Structure formats: structure tokens, C-alpha cells
Structure 1
Amino acid sequence: MVKLWLKRIVLGLLALLLLAVLGLWFFLRGSLAQLDGKITAAGLSGSVTVARDDHGIPSITGSHRNDVAYATGFVHAQDRFFQMDLLRRMPAGELSELFGEKALETDRIHRLHRFRARAQQAIQAMPADERKLLERYTAGVNDGLNALGSRPFEYGLVGLRPRAWALEDSFLVAWAMYIDLQVTGIGRELARGWLKEHASQEQLAFLLPETSQWDAPLDAASPAAPDAPIPARAPDWWGKEIAKEPATLASAAFVDGVGSNNWAVAGKRSRNGGAIVSDDMHLGIKLPSTWYRVLLQVPSAHGGTRRIVGVSIPGVPAVVAGSNGHVAWGFTNSYGDYIDLVEVGEVKDRPGQVKLPGGWEKPVTHEETILVKGQAAVSMKVRETSLGPIMQSGGRDYAVHWVAHDPKAVNLALRHMEDVDSVKDALALAPKVGMPAQNLVVGDSNGDIGWTISGPLPQRPATPADASYPLSANGSTRGWQGLLPAAAYPSVRNPADGQLVTANSRQLLGAEAAKLGDGGFDLGARAKQARDGLAALGEKTDEQGVYSVMLDDRALFISPWRDRALAVLDAEALQGKPQRAELARLLKDNWNGRASVDSVAYRASRAFMWSLYELLYGGANVELAKLNKDANMRAASSRWPVVLGRLLDEQPAGWLPHAYASWKALQLAALDRTIEHLAKDGKPLASATWGVRNTAAIAHPIAGAVPMLKKWLSVPPDQLPGDSNMPRVAGPAFGQSERMTVTPGREEQGLFNMPGGQSGHPLSPFFLAGHSDWVAGKATPLLPGTATHTLTFVK
């Protein structure tokens, strides 16, 4: 009997386990998107069809733009609602409601800006036609969410139900991009402020060059190397001893987070006569991808039907980058100076008041409540001045005067790129668009090309103070005031060489450069390599040629650091040092001039440069980390490799740290640190390839919270060629979030790929569709393929 009962218990447990597995399976299947059928939807003016190809890319066709917005919202929600939820919660400071106390510090940082309140105010000021379109999109989102058979699977894992989409949530998605693309300017200003207080004017001029030989501005040739003299002595913090165990080179990870390329070739250099536009926006990469591919067929403002193809961002009813048949466009982050930190003064005899450059004022206090999963809500007070909310850092108070706080920071004007017919029209629209200030590169079917800034720019005085440092409460300048008028925006059209290139570096050297300022421009090596690579395509090229420049992984920037390493690894340095000898051999024999996955030489040369950075700047970085997570010397100036290169070439005695007998000894110490890093845990140096370090670690956000599901919520561990200071940008979880090349009017020949698929659901066949093409750099068609599924909405 005992055995019989044991058998029954085991069978019962197995049956319960099977039921649990089946229940989980049906729950997961229930949150897959509906691909076929007919849906009756209230509020439609006519029918709308969503035809998907075998990659899940939708072609949405309707006779009214608002109906197409509704269907766009529906498919966004069904494929990506959890992603949309994170995009609205992050800038609003509402992640703790989903993830508990571990997200609380992030929420506190973002709640300072009160973006949800700003979004609600912006909605009230919307033009009636744009509000109606957003209302229809929002209705589509909520209908798409509610039409799922079960809530998106992520909510089952966090134990909550999704909250309905609201109009202001779409604006919060745009503010999420402000945080992603501009908020590091706070750390930059704090770093530069600290440096200004711990260095002489002569030392600052040398340490913070405004340009370098790597720059590739649009309005001039590359500038000469910086010529500020090297001062006789270094600042006191220079080369201070730092911990050398373990040698992780953590600082090097920062450059995995800088990037975006776009360029255009004019019709006179195109074999088809139209302009060719190429765009690859670099972002942190997760699953699902940032972008959602879409083709819209909508009524044209000029009559007839217009086809718009490109990428949207879930949460917003517009194509962000793409082509409308007449004009193609793409973006890169402009890295202008869009944030001022203004020190705030207070005295005991003026209680409740603060001192700013404009005088004394009483801040408005807002009580913010943060909901925290599993515990009581947390309250925080936000004090807001006429120049922005007050933050604390290093025992000081600063007003954050940021363009993102302006009422015009966000709107839906980007959707009107659908209707522009020429480069002239696109450049005129750009200043009216509410989005983080971006380099807009456009080309039209007539062969014209152009550049300007899309998004609000701050208007600074005719003779501006250096706003790249915090401003004093007792000074006379309040920093930027109001927004730059559209007529004053800088632009470049149809340059003589028939090409335009931007890649986050300095765009302008002339008089109009001051309109942008320097908010942390990239070094410029990537832009210069892309510019020269595009020029090398010759007098005539095509989409394939222009696309190929995105895959350029030549190590032109790192090559001189290899040369420096080999120069000090002479016979004397190798005597009795077998690991140095092995490193020297690998630097000579393993070098192919590229950031390829099998290159130890590339990884070692790069690590050598970063080892020197840590040995010389590390002491300062320890102090800067106390001010802000984004405050460090590389944020203070991306041109630090140029500074180090000059020091190694000229070897001034006053800049050699006391711990080293010579500049050669310093470089050998950096190489030993590099060896320690590459040979960690006893691994042979020959196994420390670039691919081992540059292995894709792209995963769904839930994968970190539920490790057992990581295998199903991650991409394969692909080894990726490419790096930051070259066109083919690639890091473990950062890189080319999409690659697009297209001539407007010739979209059939357009090229595209991106790291993930259309769906955020791991059981969907579209979850990783196209990923292997992205890894390989294989160009695939921009337009969707033959429809395999059709969903129809009727009124």
C-alpha cells in the first residue's frame, strides 16, 4: 500500500507540474500579438490593414492619417508594450513601482526634473490636429494591450498588471531620449568645474583643447593639432597613486556608450542621380531593439498617397528616421552645450530664498511621491527656481538650467517629415521639432543634401561666458535665455565635395559654432574616418558603396598606440620579462590593422592607452566620482588621448609622476597593467582576443531579474568586430542600433538591418529575426517583403 500511495503522490506531483508548465505555456502564448483576422474598432474613419512579412515588419495602409496612427499604436502595444512602459517610467521616475527599492535611487535622480508634470502641460498646449492624432494613437495602444489574450509576460514575472497608456506617456518617451542623450552634460560640467578649481589657466588650456587633428567639421578642413604650450608643471592631482589590483580597465567601458553616424552623398556623386542617405544610430542595445520597423501608406498633404518607410520608437506615432519617397533623413546626437549648472547661494537672513545671477528669489517647492513595490511610498521635495530645479553635488546646490525643461522641448512636429518634398523643406522644419537636439542629415530625390540641427537650441548672449563650467551665483551671467529662433539655426547645403558626414564630433569651426557650444563632442576620429572613407568611394557610387562605410573597422585611431607600445618594448625592456616579450610578439605578428574579433594586438594596443589614462587621471577620477556618476576626466574632455600623445612625444619633466624614473618606465608600467588585465586568472595572452572582450551581452531587461530565463531572453554570445573610434561601432551592449541606406524614390534598393526583431516576446518568430544579418553586417532590403499575415481594422 505504501508503494502504491507513493506512486500516486509522485504521479500527482508530476501531473501538477505538467499542469503548471501548460498553464505557463498558455499564459505566455496568450500575450503574443494577433497577426491575422478582422477587428472592429470604434472611432475609425475607414478600414486599415496591417500586412506583415515573414520578419513581422508591418505595412500599415489607411485612407486617413489618424486611422493609421491607431493601427500603429495597436501593433506597438501588442509587440512592445513592456518596452513602452519602461520608456515612459524612466524619465518620470516611476521604475520603483515595477522593480522595488533597487530602482529608487534612479527614480529620485529623474524625478528631480518632474517630466510627467511637464508632459501634462505640453499636452494641454498641443495643436488640435496633433492632439487628435495622438488620441487615436493612444486609443490604438490601449486597444492593442487589451486585445492580448493575457497580459504581457513581463508583468506576470513582476507580479503586476500593466497601466493604461495616457497621452502624456508619448511625450515621456521623447524625454527618455533627452535623458539618454543629454543628461550626462551635468556630470561633464561638474568635472570641468572641479578641474577649473584644481588647475591653473595654463594647465586648463593644455588639458582641455577645444579641437584636435581628429576633428572633421562640416564648414572647414580638419584643424591642425592643438598648439597650447605644455605648462612647466602638472596639477597636484596628476598621476596620483591609484589601486592597481585588479587591473580591470573599467574606464574603457565608457567609450562603448558614445556613437551615431550619418552621412549623405549628393546626386552628382550618385549613379542614380538622387541623394543617398545613410544612418546608423548608436545606442545601448537591449531586447527588444530600440527601433520598430514600419512602413506607412497614408494620404499625402499634397494629395494622393505617400509611402513612408523606416524606424519608429514604440510609444510615438511617427517615423523617426527613414524615407518618404522624396526625402530621406537620419540623425546623430549633436552633443552641443544644452545644460548650464548655476550655483545657488543661500544665507541665514533670507530664509526660503536663494541667490542666482539674476538676484534673489523664492523657489517653488513640489512634493513628489514615488510608489515603491513592496514597501511604503517615498516622498521627495523638488525646489524649482526660474532657472530650473535645484540639485546637490559636493556640498553645493546648483540650478539645472536644461533645454529639456522648456515647454517646447517635446512635440509631435517630427511626423511632418512625412510630407516634406525637398531638402529645403526638411531644413525649415527641423527647428520646429521638439526632440533632443540632433544632427539632421537629409537628401532628396533631386540629388540635394543638407545638414542642420533638429530640436530646440538655447540662445546664448552675443559674447557668452564659458558655460561649459558651472556658473557662479554671484556672477552676472544667467547662461542661456530662451530658445534660438528658427531663422538663426546653422545649416549646410550641397557642399562642393558632394558629401556630408556627422558622427557626434564638432560639426562647425566657424562663427556659428558658438550657437551649439561644446557639450561633450566625441573626439572626431570616427567622423574623420567616415568622411575619408566616403570620399574614397570616388566620383560615382551607389547604395551598397555608401552602406559599406558603416562596416569600416580599420584601427586608424588605435594604430599609433600600438606603435608607441612597440617602441618601448625594446631589448632592455624585454630582458627577463617573458610576458612582455609575448606581448611584443603579438603586437607585431597578430596585427591586421582592424578591430577584428581574432586580434589580440588591437585589444592590447587599446588597453595600453586606457592603462595610461588610469595611471595619470585615476586620482582625479576618484574625487570626481564623489560628485556625480557621470563626472570623470574623459567626460571633461574626449580629447584626453591627444593630450597623452603630446606628453609621450615631448616627455616634459614636470608632467612625469614622481613614482616613475622616466617616461619609458611609466609606459612600461602601463603595459604591465595591460598584461595583468589581459592575462587575468592565468589565461595566456594569445587567448585575449578583441572578440573575447567584445562579445554581445544583449538581453531583455527581465533577464537580469530572472536569471533562469536569461538563455531565452538574450542574443547568442556573438563576438563583434568594431569599436568606438571607427565607423563600425560595437560594444558588448552598445552599438549600431540600426543600419539604413536609401535613396528617396528608390526605396526598393534601400538597405537595412538591426540587432533584434520586431517582437519583444521570446516565443514570437519575430523576436530575433534579422539578428544574424546584423552581426554579419549583411545588408538586407529596407522595404518589407511579401505579406504573410494580414490584420484588418474596420469601423
Structure 2
Amino acid sequence: MLRRPLPRFRWLRRLGFLLLALVLASFGGLAGALWWSLPPTEGDLRLAGLGGPVEVTLDTRGIPRIVAADEQDAAMALGWLHARDRMFQMELMRRGAAGRLAELLGSPALRLDRFTRTLGLARRAEADLAAQSPETRVVLEAYAAGVNAWIAARGRFAAPEFLALGAPEPWRPEHSLLWGKVMGLWLSGNWRSELERARLAGLLPPERLRELFPDEASAGRPDELRAALDPTWLSRLATVLPRFPEPGTLPSSASNAWTVAGRHSVSGAPLLASDPHLGFQAPILWYLARIDLADGQMLAGATSPGVPFLVIGRNARLAWGFTTTHSDTQDLFIERLAGPDAYETPAGPLPFSVIEERIAVRGAAPEILRVRETRHGPVISDLDETPRGDGTVLALAAANLASGDTAATGLHALNRAGSVAEARGAAAVITSPSQNLMAADAGGGIGMLLTGRTPLRKAGDGTVPIPGWDGGHDWLGWAPFDTLPHVLDPPSGMLANANNRVAPPEHPVFLGAEWIADWRFRRIGMLLAARPQHDAAGFAGMQRDTVSPFALSLTGPESLLRSLPMADGAVGQAQALLLDWDGDVAASRPEPLIFNAWLKQVGRLALAAGGVPEGASGAPAAFLSFVLSPGGQGAAWCGGDCRVLAARALAVSVAELRTSLGENPTHWRWGTVHQAIFEHPLLRAIPGLGRLVRLEATSGGDEWTVSRGGLRGGRGIEAWQHVHGAGLRLVADLADPDSTLAITATGQSGHPLSPNWSNLLPNWREGRMIALGKAASEAPLRLRLLP
């Protein structure tokens, strides 16, 4: 008997079951692969090259304590831990610095790759390895061996991102030097300001430039050729340079650090606080760790994946932190061409040094980039491919690009230093970037030491591009370290820095003409003076302070705002809130939002009235204070009357806020829009997935508060997002090595499925700190690394 064919719907049902099974199997396979990429939490592991066993204790937050015989074994263990928890972060760092992001991300990353290849960061790091001390090279090699042990054991399971990208390449010692090159790039951007001022010099009269940049009286002199660059070309060049918030870029940097001597401390020993302000990401730049060696030495604080040394923290006798000095260590030189392949110098024409860089691009053909360098540095203007007709190019001279960079050796020496005097010796070896090293020792000493090479200029103040063909503005060398404005054991027993000017203009060593407003520094001084003695908990509270002296200066009894007639409706409500405000930029208050929106409009309207094209310049705090000064000095930027402009700016800002936050200003809250945002650098670009791995936290503060709440900028509600600030806070009491307090903003792990991906964020949001002591937390996890 013949069987009848199965009905069509039965075949469709079977096909559906098969497809479902395939989908489930795919999801199961992916889930299994993701689970396998999670790191082990216990057991004995073999690391070839170890001198002896290393015990690693991981507390419930994922913070390791490494117990090793010597620093070489500790460095290998730290390299293994960094790779275990942050291998993809390390991969992005080295690829970004080497100009190899397009291999992963395709054409969208080409602009950044062209930029870093032009600067030659990878070439310079490789050359600088030989400049490090033998002891430092040993530690760099041990760290690389630890990283490579993880890569060799895990392959493409080294981190979940490698499941799609393939196993990471082996780590080499010079890759750790790339971190310093990136920091040097992030923390010294004066050359961009020179481009901005040169463009404006062709658009504004000198007096307007001096008001826009009040500290820089020489900017834009019309009688000098250096100010005659074509504004249109400069604008075009600006568009090809990577800018925040693009991947791999940062906003203007800032940080806080302060210390007091033992007589101002409850414990009788110095206290030190440090909270560096960098761009937010997930995971954050910092990785907490404690290291104990057999000879009694210890380290506790913040490391950065990719680097074998403690960056900010303490050892048994010394604590330290960093802020950016904002010294001018970069100049743009206008070079005259002498034919197609040479440029003019005082000694006659010289050929360009030419390097051909091959940039691999995912999904596209490789690109060949021809990099030219002059005696001053790389030719930045070649990034604009449109030919110029004036026979000149722009070359960048930068201290952080100079050869013989021994920053790694200096940081290694700082890790070993036992006093402020020894820290001074280490600071002299940290050649880049230019930083203020805040230090305190258990013997009672405190000090602020400047690191980094500071150029000695034959002429000029470094504010605008300068002629390179005649040698008249060449660098003569570096300022001797001992001539820099270091401060040791001041009579007050207190030291603080918040990126403010560190020396008066008449100091023998010219550090620069460009300084940010000192409002955070003033507030730190107020808080230090408010109590005769301090403790670690009080310092931690200071780091979270959100009172803005800048806001008080623009809303207080003598302010221009007080002279405005009271408006009607919502604008009048907002105005009344500002007039009654105590300056606290708290997340729960409406006034911070009204104030920042008002200032944004004041800056926009004033720049437009003054003839500055949109996007050509920001409105610095000093400029805003000038425009809003009650004496009316800024009238030229206000169409004659800054009271009218201020009132219009308030009306416009309130109208914009009403469209998104409702009619009643008393119901608005700063924290509604001022969310701290931590995004995965790669996954954030994938629809749906980026949102799943994004971390957020309501936060207070703004650009001018000690608790820095740096804004994304731009237009729309996202402009108020908090994307730049203290991703690390650390406080050290030199009375007790076990009392070091620290917190980071995300978690120890870079794996989004790990419980340690975001577990530190609640503590960071609420201001709670973690003690990096010897005692293990509850239910610790233990790993033994064996030779």
C-alpha cells in the first residue's frame, strides 16, 4: 500500500523545528564561548619564568593582593592579572597608539590612525625601550611574559571581544611604553590651541583676541607673519584632526591633588589625596591592586592595564598623585618649502625625513600614508590632503615626541622611592608628560615636583604658530630640572593643585601662557583652611565636594545677574532660583542646570556677536567672567550691553529646557540630565548591544567643582552628560600603609558578564571608599602562580 505524502504544513513544522534548533544551538554555543572567556577564580597555574610561587588573593570585588618574592615576580603576576581582567582594553590602547584601529573598526577609524601614524608614537616607543634603565627593562619584560602567559593559555578566549576578532598578538615590552605616549598626547594639547588662535587671528582684531584669551597678551599680533595663516585652510585642517568625543580622544584634561603635613593631620602623619580627571569609559582606565614583597616593601593603589608600575598610590614610606601642569611643551612651526621634497633652514634646504606607513583597513584595501618630518617634528598639515598654494607646511615640535623618553624608568624609581627627596630624583627622570607630582612621606615631608621636559625657546611665547625657516624661534634645549618651580615643605604645611598656574609669570623658567581657571584650586584651599586637622575620611569628602566658587562669583551680591530686571513666568522663576542659590552643584537641585544652560548661551551669543564663527572657539571661564563683569568691560562682545545679552541668554536657555523637562523650573533636576556615562569603546557602536553594556550613575558637580562633572558638550539633552571626571579617587594616610582608601568608577573586570564589571560603581556614586589593606575581604578567592 502506497503511503500518502506528508501535508505541506508538517514539512514546514519540521523545518521550523530545525531552524529553531540551529538558533538555540548557536545561542548555546555563543553562551558557552562567552562563559569560557570568563577568567578562572581559583586554582594553581604555571607561569614559565617565575622565580618562585606567587600568591594572589582576590577579594569579593575582584581587587587582587599579590604576595611575591621580588618585584620581577610581582610584575609577571600583575601582567597576568591585567591580561586576565582587561586584555581587550590593553589591545585597544596599543592599537590606538600604534595607529592600527582600522584593522578592527574599518574606515571610521582611519582618521585616528592617520593622526597617530603621523605622530609616530609606536616608532618612538620602540626606540625609547633602549633608553630605559636595565632594571626597568627587566620589569617590562617580566610583565610582558605574564601577559603572554595569559594569551598563550587562552587564545581567542582571552576576552569576549576576541571571539570575533581572533586571538591577540603577543605583548612586547615596548607596548607598555605606548601607554606613556598616549598620556603625553592626551595631557598636552597646546598645539591645537595654537591652531585655534591662528585661525581667529585672521578673523578678529588683536584686542578681541586678548579678551577671548586674557592670559595671552601676545596672541595674534597682526604685524607678524605667524598670524597670517589662511583661516579657511586652518578650519579645514581642524576637521581632519580627531576631536572629542570621537573614539580614542579626550576632552581637556584636569585633576586634583593635595597634601598636608602631620601637624594638620589627626593621625600626626601627612595625608595625601589624588583624583585624576580623564575621559570615562567602561571599564575605567584604572585597576586597583596591592602588592607585598618578601623584603617588606609594598605598593597599594591604582595601576593601569598595560603598565607594570603603580601609577597613583603609595608604598610603605611614600604616597603620590599627579595633576597636569599644563606647561606649554608643544609648538607649531611654519616651514617654507624648498622644492617638492625639501624645506628651508638657516643652514640651507634640507630634505624631509619620509616614512611610509601601511595602514590595514578592515573590509577595504590598505592605505599607504606618507609621513614627512622636519628638524622640528612631524608635518601635521599633511593630514589635510588638499594641496596648499602658499609654499608652507606646519610641523609639530613636542616634548612628548622627543627621543630618549625615560618616563617608565622614572615611574619605576618613584615606586621604589622612600621619601620626598627620593621622589624628587624620580621626578627628574620622568621626561613626559609635564605633570605636578604631589608627594608625602612617612617622615613628615610633603612636596610638589614638576615632571616632564620643558622647552627653552629662543623667542616667542608658544601661543601661535611660528616661523621655522629662520631659526629665530627654535628650541634651545630643556630647562634644567632644578630650575623648575618645585615646592618642598612649605611653611603652611599644605599643598594643593587643580591644574592652576604653578608659578608667577616672572618665574625664570617660562612654562606657558595658557592656564585654566583656578576655581577648583580656590575651593580646595577653602576646605583645607576650614579645619585645623584632617583625616582620610574628610579628604574623601572633599573629593566629592560640589560647591562652585565660579557660580557664586556670577550669581552673588556683586554680579551682573543681580542688576537684571526680574523677568516674568518661567524665566523669572529660573532667575529667582539663581539669585537664591548657594552654589552647590548638587544632582538634586535645579539651579546647576539653569546656571550651566545660561552660561552656555552667554558664550554662544557673545562669540557670535564678537564675530567668532560657530565651532571656531569655546568660551573659557575667564572669558565668561569678562563678558558678565558688572562693570560692562565686555560690551564689545554683547552688542553694546551685556545686561541685555545676559537676559536674552537666560530666556533662550529656559525656553530650551522647558521643551524637554517641563514648564516649571523648580521641578528640574541637574541629576536628570547630568548622568555619568561609561561606555565600552567598541561595543557602544553596536545597536542594542552598546546600550546593554553601558553604565550610568546620577552625579553632581560641573566643570568648576572639586568633584569634576565634565560635560559631553554639543547640542541637545546629551550635551549635559557627565563624561569626564574622577574615574579614580585615592586617599593615603602615611601613618598606616593599610589605611589607603581608593575607589574606581566601574569595576575591576573588562568582561561585561563578570560580576566585577560594574560592582564598584555604586560605591563610586555614593562616595564610599575601599581600604587596600593586607586583610582579605570575606570569601576571598585564591590563585597560586607557580614556576
- TM category (shorter chain) comes to 0.7 to 0.9
Q: Find the counterpart in structure 2 of residue 320 from structure 1.
A: 311
Query: 1:495: Cα distance to partner?
Result: 1.1
Once residues 128 and 155 of structure 2 are traced to their aligned partners in structure 1, the CA distance between those partners, rounded to angstroms, is 34
**Equivalent residue for 1:558?**
551
1:449 corresponds to 2:449? no
Instruction: Name 2:343's counterpart in structure 1.
Output: 354
Does residue 595 of the first structure (1) align with residue 585 of the second (2)? Answer: yes
Report what 2:298 is aligned to.
307
Partner of 1:283: 278
Q: Which residue of 2 aligns with 1:645?
A: 628
Alignment deviations for residues 581-614 of structure 1 (CA, whole Å, 9 cap, x no partner): 343344356x353111122222112221221111
Partner amino acid for 1:391?
Answer: I
| Letter paired with 1:738 | L
Distance 2:187 2:324 in 1: 7
* Deviations 1:716-746 (CA, angstroms, capped at 9, x unpaired): x322111111101124221111111112351
Q: What TM-score results when the alignment is normalised by the length of structure 1?
A: 0.86
Q: 1:329 corresponds to which residue? A: 320
Alignment of 1:296 onto 2:302: no
Task: Give the conservation status (yes or no) of the 8 Å contact 2:34–2:160.
Answer: no
Q: Does 1:188 align with 2:193?
A: yes
Partner-residue secondary structure (3-state), 1:277: strand
Q: Distance in 2 between matches of 1:459 and 1:618?
A: 37
Indicate if the aligned counterparts of 1:750 and 1:781 stay in contact, CA closer than 8 A.
yes
Query: Is the CA contact 1:287–1:714 (under 8 Å) kept in the aligned structure 2?
Result: yes
Contact 1:155–1:162 (8 Å) recurs in 2: no
Shift of residue 154, structure 1, vs aligned partner: 4.6
Q: 2:706 is matched with which residue?
A: 727
The answer for the alignment partner of 2:769 in structure 1 is 779
| 1:265 matched residue in structure 2 | 260
> What is the aligned counterpart of 1:57 among 60, 63, 84?
63
State the partner residue of 2:598.
608
Alignment pair present for 1:542 and 2:535: yes
CA contact (8 A) 1:568 1:667 kept: no
User: Percentage identity across aligned positions?
Assistant: 29
**2:457 and 2:473 in contact (8 A); partners too:** no
Q: Does 1:128 align with 2:123?
A: no
AA partner of residue 747 (structure 1): P
Structure 1 residue 442: Cα displacement:
0.3
Q: How many angstroms does 1:128 deviate by?
A: 2.8
CA 361–503 in structure 1, closer or farther in 2 if over 3 Å, else same = same
Cα separation, 2, equivalents of 1:766 and 1:683? 38
Asked whether the equivalents of residues 288 and 760 of structure 1 are also in contact (C-alpha less than 8 Å), the reply is: yes
For the Cα contact (< 8 Å) 2:256–2:276, is it kept in 1? yes
Kept in 2: contact 1:569–1:580 (CA 8 A): no
3-state SS, counterpart of residue 558 of structure 1: helix
Distance in 2 separating the partners of 1:633 and 1:568? 26
Q: 2:353 aligns with which of 364, 370, 376?
A: 364
Shift of 1:200: 4.7
Supply the distance in 2 between the matched residues of 1:255 and 1:33 (Cα, whole angstroms).
Answer: 30
Cα shift at 1:445: 0.7
| Paired residues for 1:134-283 under 5 Å | 134-148=140-154, 150-156=156-162, 158-182=164-188, 184-210=189-215, 257-283=252-278
Mapping of 1:654-673 within 5 angstroms?
Answer: 654-657=636-639, 662-673=641-652
Q: Is 1:753 matched with 2:743?
A: yes
Q: Where in structure 1 do 4 or more consecutive aligned residues deviate above 6 Å?
A: 250-256, 619-622
1:40 pairs, out of 43, 46, 53, with: 46
Aligned equivalents of 1:654, 1:621: Cα separation in 2:
10
Q: Which deviates more from structure 2 when the two are superposed, residues 729-738 or residues 321-330?
A: 729-738
Q: Report the CA distance between 1:191 and its aligned residue.
A: 1.8
Partner of 2:238: none
CA RMSD in angstroms comes to 2.9
Equivalent position to 1:467, from 455, 462, 479: 462
Name whichever of 466-475 and 163-172 sits farther off: 466-475
CA contact (8 A) 2:121 2:178 kept: yes
Aligned equivalent of 1:424: 421
Q: Which moved more, 1:393-402 or 1:772-781?
A: 393-402
* Higher relative contact order (CA closer than 8 Å, sequence separation 6+): 1
Deviation at 1:13, TM superposition (A): 2.9
Contact 1:561 1:608 in 2 (8 A): no
Matches within 5 A, 1:399-438: 399-413=395-409, 414-438=411-435
Q: CA deviation at 1:359?
A: 5.2
Gaps spanning 5+ residues in structure 1: where? 212-225, 229-249, 626-630
Cα distance in 1 between the residues matched to 2:728 and 2:399:
27
| Contact 1:50/1:790, CA 8 A, preserved across alignment | yes
Aligned residue identity for 1:47: P
Could you say which residue in structure 2 is the equivalent of 1:235? none
Q: What is the CA-CA distance between 1:531 and the residue it aligns to? A: 1.6
Mapped to 2, the partners of 1:569 and 1:16 lie a distance apart of: 70
Cα distance in structure 1, aligned partners of 2:611 and 2:368: 32
Q: CA deviation at 1:755?
A: 0.4
SS at the partner of 2:466? coil
Which residue, 685, 707, 718 being the options, matches 1:705? 685
Structure-2 residue corresponding to 1:679: 658
Does the 8 A contact of 1:598 with 1:691 survive in 2?
Answer: yes
Q: Per the alignment, do residues 197 and 6 of structure 1 end up closer, same or farther by CA in structure 2, a change over 3 Å counting?
A: closer
Residue 221 of structure 1 corresponds to which residue in structure 2?
Answer: none
* Greater shift in the superposed pair: 95-104 or 400-409: 400-409
Question: Would the aligned equivalents of 1:342 and 1:356 in 2 still touch at CA under 8 Å?
Answer: no
- Structure 1 497/435 Cα, relative in aligned 2: closer, same or farther at 3 Å? same
Check 1:358–1:722 CA distance in 2 against 1; reply closer, same or farther (3 A cut): farther
Aligned partner letter, 1:399: A
User: Paired residue for 2:376, among 369, 387, 390?
Assistant: 387
Partner of 2:784 in structure 1? Answer: 792
Code of the residue aligned with 1:514 in structure 2: it is V
Q: Which amino acid aligns with 1:524?
A: D
Instruction: Write out aligned runs for 1:74-153 (5 A).
Output: 74-148=80-154, 150-153=156-159
CA apart distance, 1:101: 0.3
Count of matched residue pairs? 732
Report the Cα offset of residue 320 of structure 1. Answer: 0.3
SS in 1 for 2:457: coil
Q: Secondary structure at the match of 1:701?
A: coil
> What is the CA–CA distance in structure 2 between the aligned matches of 1:4 and 1:650, rounded to whole Å?
85
The letter for the 2-side match of 1:44 is L
Aligned CA distance change for structure 1 residues 428 and 612 (closer, same or farther; 3 Å) = same
Contact 1:389 1:400 in 2 (8 A): yes
Higher mean C-alpha displacement, 334-343 vs 603-612:
603-612
Deviation at residue 363 of structure 1 after TM alignment: 1.2
Cα deviation for residue 202 of structure 1 reads: 4.4
- Preserved contact between residue 131 and residue 404 of structure 2 (Cα < 8 Å): no
Aligned to 1:222: none
Amino acid at match of 1:445: A
Q: Which amino acid aligns with 2:518?
A: G
Q: Residues 500-519 of structure 1: matches in 2 within 5 Å?
A: 500-509=495-504, 511-512=506-507, 514-518=509-513
The equivalent position to 1:343 in structure 2, one of 334, 338, 356, is 334
Supply the distance in 1 between the matched residues of 2:606 and 2:651 (Cα, whole angstroms): 15
Amino acid corresponding to residue 632 of structure 1 in structure 2: S
